[in-house]
Structure 1
Amino acid sequence: MKKVAPWLVDLLLVILFCVIGRRSHDEAILTGLLKTLWPFAIGLALGWIAVRVLASRGAGDRPIDGIALWPTGVLVWLGTLCGGMVLRAISGQGTAASFIAVAATVLALFLLGWRAAVTALR
């Protein structure tokens, strides 16, 4: 469970990001959530894959620290943001500059923020 917990926290926060976005635009949350979520969920998975690849090329069998801000948090954040935006663009969903700025900020606050808080409390 310890290995899965950071990924689950990230996933829940990405879902929360999508729910807040849909709610702030008065869009149906439950019926449209999957449409908003899937690009960012795949981006999140890509970020975690990048973390695994980096760890496997690093110090051998060193375990991945899912709570570390660097490199885990940054790679997960960038994967979620960039992967999500690319997939949104490919699928014809909006990628206005203002949306990218808001998404970058909120996802950073969520995906890096919880890691910073846990690290500070350690």
Structure 2
Amino acid sequence: MTSYSSNKTHAIYAGIADAVLILLFAALGRSAHEHSETFFGIVATAWPFLLGAVLAWVVLGIWKKPLRIWSNGLFLVVITVAVGMVLRVLTGAGTAVAFIIVALVSLAVFLLGHRAIALLILRLRGRSNR
């Protein structure tokens, strides 16, 4: 497999994982606050963060190095949360300080964590192929 096709595979994986984990973040939050857990309810909660993540992917060019934790992953988290919170303010949704902290920590664990796990798996695979 060439570097380009491997990078493309990693970008597809990271993009899907980012979206799924942002949806999971929204679902867990809705569940914790005893809101309905319908698909549309989850999407209604997640869309500002999903849009923030898409913006981060475009601005940072994350598809070029989708598993990079330092810079790409870290700035992805910051931009995702910042844009998500701004959009929540603009749409009249809540942005309490506690929610901002929970969103920042949760999305950092999710978005950086899956990258760290993927990198570990790739390293372990590389060692077993030697």
> Which structure: greater helix fraction?
2
Q: Which amino acid aligns with 1:33?
A: I
Superposition map of 1:34-113 within 5 A: 34-52=43-61, 64-113=64-113
Cα distance in 1 between the residues matched to 2:116 and 2:43: 29
- The 3-state SS of whatever aligns with 1:95 is coil
Partner of 2:64, secondary structure, is coil
Could you give the per-residue CA deviations for residues 33-74 of structure 1, whole angstroms, max 9, x where no partner exists? Answer: 22201101101111111221xx7xxxxxxx711011022211
Secondary structure in 2 matching 1:67: coil
Q: Distance in 2 between matches of 1:37 and 1:67?
A: 22
Does residue 1:17 correspond to 2:17, yes or no? Answer: no
- Greater alpha carbon shift after TM alignment, 97-106 vs 67-76: 67-76
Unaligned regions of 5+ residues in structure 1, if any?
56-62
Separation of aligned partners in 2, 1:8 and 1:28:
24
Match of 1:28 in 2: 36
Deviation at 1:117, TM superposition (A): 2.0
Return the index of the structure with the highest Cα Rg: 2
**Percent identity of the aligned residues?**
35
Q: Which runs of 4+ in 1 moved over 3 A?
A: none
Once residues 12 and 117 of structure 2 are traced to their aligned partners in structure 1, the CA distance between those partners, rounded to angstroms, is 18
Matching residue of 1:60? none
Asked if the contact 2:23–2:43 (Cα under 8 Å) also holds between the matched residues in 1, the reply is no
Q: Give the Cα separation in 2 of the matches to 1:101 and 1:78.
A: 11
Q: Is the 8 A contact 1:50 1:75 kept in 2?
A: no
Give aligned pairs, total: 113
Which of the numbers 6, 29, 39 marks the counterpart of 2:14?
A: 6
Name stretches of at least 5 consecutive residues in structure 2 with no aligned partner. Answer: 1-7, 124-130
